[in-house]
Amino acid sequence: MMEFEEEMYSEEVQSQIKDNLARKNYVVVSSGDINFGDYYRTDSQKEIEKTLNDMIEYFTDTEEYEKCSKILKALKRVRGELTAA
């Protein structure tokens, strides 16, 4: 019984951490302080793409589609598919 409780606690904590990370990252994305196009063809591009894709997946799961739209624009800039407006 103790293992089950620890596992549930662990899943709950992991879920909270994932939520906090996604929301804090979203604040950065939506602030406009970072020009994501600057990361196109850099060593960091793949890691940033993965983070942005993870955020889109998370906010799709939580049905926060307006956030996905802003994140998708940043992702397209990182990929060089969209230039800054």
Q: How is the chain split into domains, by residue range?
A: 2-78
- Model pLDDT, residue 8: 64
- Model pLDDT, residue 1: 45
- Distance from C-alpha of 66 to C-alpha of 63, rounded to nearest angstrom: 9
- Model pLDDT, residue 4: 53
Q: Report the Cα 58 to chain-centroid distance in Å.
A: 7
- Distance from C-alpha of 44 to C-alpha of 42, rounded to nearest angstrom: 5
Amino acid sitting at position 39: Y
At 30 the three-state DSSP class reads helix
Please report, in tens digits, the pLDDT of each residue of the chain (85 residues total).
445 565 666 888 999 999 999 999 999 999 999 999 999 999 999 999 999 999 999 999 999 999 999 999 999 999 999 886 5
**Look-up of token digits 């997946």:** 57
Question: How many other β-carbons are positioned within 10 Å of the β-carbon of residue 76?
Answer: 15
